[in-house]
Amino acid sequence: MSGLTPEQQDVVDAPMVPLCVIACAGSGKTKTAVHRVVRMRHNLGEARGRVALLSFSNVAVDTFREAYDDLASSLPSGAGRSRVDIDTLDGFITTNVIRPHGHRTMKSPRAAFLVTGDEAFLEGFKFPTSSFPQSIKALNLAFLNGKEVFFYMFNDQVVIVDSSVARNLIAKLGRTGAYTHDLGRYWAYRTLKEQPKLLAALSRRYPHIVIDEAQDIGSVHQAILELLIGAGSCVTLIGDPNQGIYEFAGADGKFLIEYHQRAGVLQHSLKRNFRSAPSIVDLANCLCGRDDVAERSAPATPHGAFFTGYKGDQYPQLISSFQGAMSAAGADIKRSAVLCRAKKLAGTLRGDEAPAGQGLVRLFAAAAVLRDRRKDFLKAFQRVAVAVVALLDNAPHGLVSQITQPSNKPDDRELRKVIWAFTRDPATGLPSASLVADAQWHAHLLARIKVLLVNLDTKFGLKRVANLGNKLSKKALPSTPLTSAADLADGGATALRIDTVHKAKGESLDAVLYVTTKEHAQALLGGVATELGRIGYVAATRTRNLLWVAVPHNSLKELRPQLLERGFKEVGLSATPTPAAKSTHDVLLPLPLKATKPQASA
């Protein structure tokens, strides 16, 4: 197959046995995995077994599907081209285990359904803690040395929950057929463990499973995979342990790192980085102690790794200075981003307001802002679904899930369509976030909800609650629009994306500004031994050409020597928003340098 490097080709051509592929950032894991799957399907010929290619995000799955559709046309017709399933690991478990078989283990009279966490009936499913009862949606599970451990997170700390309390609560929810994301994995594990015939059948159906981003496999996922491996499935893991950033969810990368030690598993590595300029690859090597090789040569435009200090009130200056540097580097605004460790900081930088209103009105208001400001129609739809169901009298427990999850039932699909139409249309459905909230927006909302509820009654026999006015009070709505007209007019087209590092995982970006606290910057410089360090590593390795790391001004003196030692160059902030800096081939510093007396290394 053409276009692959020898190390990628070796993975593709490897015998049909389990592989452990440790790959660096930007090494073309996607391309390699898709070519490998096509080759596997080719080798399987007319055999009936399916190949599963699994990853962790819907974006990754879409990319894989597109690439597979392109490549699979090279398979001879009839060679089982369609017997490849590409999905997220959770999607795979849901389709093959939880939905069709989970209810038997859950002791539910109906098929299992996923809850969003906001459903009113979950109020009755709480567990006690030393302070106040917590909702079951906060309950997580991990396997530690083969034992189930139940916990929840409080102020970034893990708090253990008594196992029998947790099991009873999970069983009680299970009997309704409901499960949260985390508990879905638990039920899938238990279903496979308790129904050995099902496990054997699933393993026969999927004799080969390839998992990308395998550093993100958590302990419950691992337990499920171990069952499949034990039943005969041949599992290949591809990933980069230095990008393991889901430790809080029980993924510590150990499964991937140690997988090659198992009998029969062949080890491979991918060490050529196609994404980043050589100076960025050098920095990445310095951070993680690898010796990966840049496949690209240095671009003719300004590029490399820079740092700058910022004060708490200088975010606008910081971002406009970075945009000046981006212009000089020829970075595309749509393929560049400001990244932060924490959601809260990303929200502050984006200028996200606290959601307005109370109760269900708050949900509708948040949905309007998500749709109109963030253009996030899906999240808006999910909030509208939860709020509308809460306005129904005696709504069946799984109704939110019936609306929000894809379904083959015509009634569910019709209902989904009605809620989508309401969410999407500011003229007849959820009013525009640009209307004055307490006066216009709320009045429109009330009138249109009434029409919607009549419609739901007529078409689907769903009755509304009696006290609509109480449930939709205008308390805590401001006498201003929910979001400013300027934000809406921009529509995000010219705005630089501001996001968390977790959201940018797997992406290639032209330019990245990583905004850090002192702790985040220290962790980045400290390397990949800690999760915070790996988060910094993921941020740094997203960029193709330009990386800026912004550190708090008051830690600059302390951090400067280490930043310089790692190869970062210092830049200052421009006093006012900058016009695009001049692009010259040999200028690496896109902005005038201020206060840059390098200190001797500590």
Ligand X SMILES: Nc1ncnc2c1ncn2[C@@H]1O[C@H](COP(=O)(O)OP(=O)(O)OP(=O)(O)O)[C@@H](O)[C@H]1O
- Residue 123 CA to residue 126 CA, distance in Å, equals 7
Chain residues 423-452 in contact with ligand X, contact rule CB under 6 A: none
Among 119, 216, 240, 372, binds ligand X (CB under 6 A): 240
* Structure-token match 């932060």, residue found: 340
Which tokens is 64 given?
Answer: 């894989």
CB nearer ligand X, residue 30 or residue 405: 30
Among 19, 25, 188, 363, binds ligand X (CB under 6 A): 25
Q: How many CA atoms lie within 13 A of 217 on its CB side?
A: 29
Among 7, 10, 14, 30, binds ligand X (CB under 6 A): 30
The piece of 27-35, 80-88, 454-462, 567-575 that touches ligand X (CB under 6 A) is 27-35
- Residue 218 CA to residue 149 CA, distance in Å, equals 13
DSSP state of 216: G
CB nearer ligand X, residue 362 or residue 534: 534
In the bound complex, what is the minimum distance in angstroms from residue 9's beta carbon to ligand X?
A: 9
In the bound complex, what is the minimum distance in angstroms from residue 542's beta carbon to ligand X?
A: 7
The piece of 20-28, 188-196, 314-322, 554-562 that touches ligand X (CB under 6 A) is 20-28
CB nearer ligand X, residue 64 or residue 186: 64
Among 11, 21, 28, 552, binds ligand X (CB under 6 A): 28
- Residue 38 CA to residue 13 CA, distance in Å, equals 11
The piece of 28-36, 134-142, 225-233, 386-394 that touches ligand X (CB under 6 A) is 28-36
CB nearer ligand X, residue 380 or residue 535: 535
Q: Which residues are annotated as a binding site?
A: 23-30
Chain residues 479-538 in contact with ligand X, contact rule CB under 6 A: 506, 508
Q: Is 4 in the site for ligand X (CB under 6 A)?
A: yes
In the bound complex, what is the minimum distance in angstroms from residue 238's beta carbon to ligand X?
A: 9
| Burial group, residue 220, by CB count within 10 angstroms (0-12, 13-18, 19+) | buried
- Residue 336 CA to residue 543 CA, distance in Å, equals 8
In the bound complex, what is the minimum distance in angstroms from residue 366's beta carbon to ligand X?
A: 31
In the bound complex, what is the minimum distance in angstroms from residue 50's beta carbon to ligand X?
A: 23
The piece of 23-31, 324-332, 361-369, 527-535 that touches ligand X (CB under 6 A) is 23-31
In the bound complex, what is the minimum distance in angstroms from residue 3's beta carbon to ligand X?
A: 5
The piece of 21-29, 252-260, 299-307, 564-572 that touches ligand X (CB under 6 A) is 21-29
Q: Is 511 left (phi over 0), alpha (psi -120 to 50) or beta?
A: beta
Which tokens is 130 given?
Answer: 């030393």
In the bound complex, what is the minimum distance in angstroms from residue 35's beta carbon to ligand X?
A: 9
- Residue 51 CA to residue 58 CA, distance in Å, equals 18
CB nearer ligand X, residue 3 or residue 406: 3
- Residue 361 CA to residue 373 CA, distance in Å, equals 18
- Residue 473 CA to residue 373 CA, distance in Å, equals 24
CB nearer ligand X, residue 240 or residue 487: 240
* Per-residue binder mask for ligand X (CB under 6 A), 376-415, x = binder: ----------------------------------------
Give how many residues touch ligand X by CB under 6 A: 19
- Torsional sign, CA 61, 67, 73, 75: negative
- Residue 346 CA to residue 337 CA, distance in Å, equals 11
Start-to-end Cα distance in the chain: 50
Q: How many CA atoms lie within 13 A of 115 on its CB side?
A: 25
CB nearer ligand X, residue 89 or residue 183: 89
DSSP state of 392: B
In the bound complex, what is the minimum distance in angstroms from residue 468's beta carbon to ligand X?
A: 48
Q: Is 306 left (phi over 0), alpha (psi -120 to 50) or beta?
A: beta
The piece of 29-37, 96-104, 281-289, 379-387 that touches ligand X (CB under 6 A) is 29-37
Q: Is 377 helix (H, G, I), strand (E, B) or coil?
A: helix
Among 81, 274, 299, 359, binds ligand X (CB under 6 A): 274
Q: By 3-state DSSP, what share of the chain in percent is helix, strand and coil, each rounded to 5?
A: 45, 15, 35
Query: For the chain, how many residues are written?
Result: 602
In the bound complex, what is the minimum distance in angstroms from residue 29's beta carbon to ligand X?
A: 3
- Residue 30 CA to residue 213 CA, distance in Å, equals 10
Encode burial over 258-273: b for 16+ CB neighbours within 10 A, e otherwise.
ebbeeeebeebbbebb
CA angle 571, 572, 573 (to 5 degrees): 130
Among 190, 221, 275, 520, binds ligand X (CB under 6 A): 275
CB nearer ligand X, residue 30 or residue 596: 30
In the bound complex, what is the minimum distance in angstroms from residue 81's beta carbon to ligand X?
A: 22
CB nearer ligand X, residue 30 or residue 455: 30
Q: In one letter, which amino acid is 315?
A: Y
Q: Is 29 in the site for ligand X (CB under 6 A)?
A: yes
Residue whose Cβ sits closest to ligand X: 28
Among 18, 26, 177, 304, binds ligand X (CB under 6 A): 26
Q: Which residues contact 457 (CB under 8 A, 6 or more apart)?
A: 463, 464
Q: Is 543 in the site for ligand X (CB under 6 A)?
A: no
CB nearer ligand X, residue 26 or residue 309: 26
CB nearer ligand X, residue 274 or residue 377: 274
Q: Give whole-number Cα distances, 175 to 163, 179, 187, in Å.
A: 18, 10, 12
Is residue 292 within 8 A of residue 271, CB to CB? The reply is yes
In the bound complex, what is the minimum distance in angstroms from residue 246's beta carbon to ligand X?
A: 14
* Structure-token match 């302990």, residue found: 219
Q: Which residues are annotated as a binding site for ATP?
A: 23-30
CB nearer ligand X, residue 256 or residue 395: 256
Q: In one letter, which amino acid is 363?
A: L
Is residue 404 within 8 A of residue 366, CB to CB? The reply is no
Binding site for ligand X (CB under 6 A): 3-5, 8, 23, 25-31, 240, 243, 274-275, 506, 508, 541
